[in-house]
Structure 1
């Protein structure tokens, strides 16, 4: 099975880190969750984003998520694919050139990437999305388009595969997003 790198940060969306981290391991994959400037055993805070009929999502405190690898020690060549959860973390992680270099590595090596919700912000900051149909939380549509991507306006429980990239609008898409990502890994 595949060895996966998951890039996180404080206030990553709770479901978008917890569910894929556990589900991908249940499928037999190895998942290393890292965060810049944090080590294995450190925690990141999460936030729960919910859709309650307001003009945007609501945000509530989530759980603390324990990292199982150290950002500064990962060897990117050892990984088969990348997972980028959403939440508020991608908003500031995209300002870290080390994170952008990691994303670029997976794109340049043509390795599968799964990004959900605001994870598209990392993609758009790191690489051109030209030639790709990319889904994300709707507020990220302008960034996808500015990066040259074709924003996929799909139902919140759907996902889209474009080349080696699997994207989805938010955590209700987990079953479809993870199914499509697993297909790329198989």
Structure 2
């Protein structure tokens, strides 16, 4: 397996699991992940939010962790990265107003590099106008964003994922096992399972 350089764009009140889990899991299998936030430097933090599904008409929100960034936004050269991860939560809503963020997302789409977006990450894809004609999933409330951006919203169970070329999307964090597995396939990452033998 060739280790990949992966960029993760986050912001304050990014969804806790959708940030923490891919950040750690992708490193666990040997990739390098740089988490950045506009106007913040390596060593600074973003506050996360835990979104849960508790029987209300939409998700509930609770305080999460302080997630430490490991790269400086203004020093990022997207050409050095093989793939992009966009977690959900409330962060995509405001970081999509940053033109540098939009240009970064466009770079990955235009160069056909793998992109994994989950939940409200679709808001950033729509703002960058990179999902025209693409099948994708997201938190259901993002359906209008996808439609207005020319994408095809795919309604799937909350623990499933959709793959369209280089784009891997999912509705929310219950999809992590499927979403990350599909992203690893698009990255070309293979994981071998060997039987343990006892002596």
Q: Residues of 1 paired with 2:154 and 2:10: CA distance? A: 24
Taking the TM superposition and a 5 Å limit, the aligned residue runs for 1:114-133 are 114-133=116-135
What's the offset of the Cα at 1:130? 2.0
Q: Which residue of 2 aligns with 1:52?
A: 54
Runs of 4+ in 1 over 3 A off after TM superposition: none
What's the offset of the Cα at 1:137? 0.2
Q: Which has the larger radius of gyration?
A: 2
Question: Structure 2 residue aligned with 1:38, among 37, 40, 44?
Answer: 40
Gapped regions of structure 2 (runs ≥ 5): 189-199
Q: TM-score, normalised by structure 2?
A: 0.93
Q: Which residue of 2 aligns with 1:67?
A: 69
What's the offset of the Cα at 1:129? 1.6
Question: Structure 1 residue aligned with 2:85, among 83, 98, 101?
Answer: 83
Q: In the alignment, does 2:148 pair up with 1:146?
A: yes
Q: Contact between 2:131 and 2:146, CA under 8 Å: does it hold in 1?
A: yes
What's the offset of the Cα at 1:159? 0.3
Q: Which residue of 2 aligns with 1:106?
A: 108
Taking the TM superposition and a 5 Å limit, the aligned residue runs for 1:15-26 are 15-26=17-28
Q: Which residue of 1 aligns with 2:160?
A: 158
Q: Which residue of 1 aligns with 2:177?
A: 175
Q: Contact between 2:106 and 2:130, CA under 8 Å: does it hold in 1?
A: no
Q: Which residue of 1 aligns with 2:139?
A: 137
